[in-house]
Amino acid sequence: MPSPSFPLVVFDLDGTIADTAPDLAAALNAALVSLGRPAQSLEAVRGLIGHGTRALLRNGLAATGGGDEALVAQAYPVLLSYYEAHICDHSAPYSGVEQAWDALAAQGVRLALCTNKPAALTDRLLAALGWQNRFAAVVGGDTLAVSKPDPAPLHLAIAQAGGGPAAFVGDSIVDIQTAKAAGVPVIAVSFGFADRPARELGADAVIDHYADLAAALAALPGAN
């Protein structure tokens, strides 16, 4: 078996390894409707995801007339309660991701997760998807005092997973900025929640399916 390109691969969560937009949209809309705001379409919400659930609410308020932090504080418990109760009603893995993980694991590659989703919600979703034992490290959006695109969460995920050369896989400009700030090569998936075409994000590589991951990793700067 060939040696792995990187001993560690870190993944973003929402829009990268799982399509969580339907459940996030439902939670956001529950909060918006509680304020008398119009519900947003699934496609509109996809472009609002990436900075965590509180930022999702801020973005939703901005798209429906604006709102200050007092309004965020009023509606956030509604979003949180709904999302906790419905976190995996419709969320699902992207095609081929589990097979790609199995192939990496067979080469001895460690996997880690670095997301802006709050840690408690991340753990709940991973359990619902049966992924609670997939990762050597899981860093959530509130694990540290800062979140992506600050590089500290990615550095922490790498350290907690055992360190060494690593690559990052994400779907949004937040992920690309994080990886670049951390000095880590990065792959963008084209099927996530980015607010622009994946090939305009500035990633080192773009994949359209997880069947392409191994080849993309092998072609990254710093690959073995």
* Beta strand segments in 49-114, E: 92-93, 110-114
Amino acid type, 31:
A
204 tagged catalytic: no
Catalytic residue among 12, 142, 175, 204: 12
Amino acid type, 73:
A
Is residue 181 within 8 Å of residue 149, measured between CB atoms? yes
H-helix or E-strand containing 205? strand 205-207
Query: What Cα–Cα distance (Å) separates residue 94 from each residue in 15, 150, 156, 195?
Result: 9, 26, 25, 19
CB under 8 Å to 75, separation ≥6 — which residues?
Answer: 31, 32, 34, 35, 57, 61
**Distance, CA of 176 to chain centre:** 12
> Bridge partners of 14?
18
- Any idea which residues carry the catalytic annotation? 12
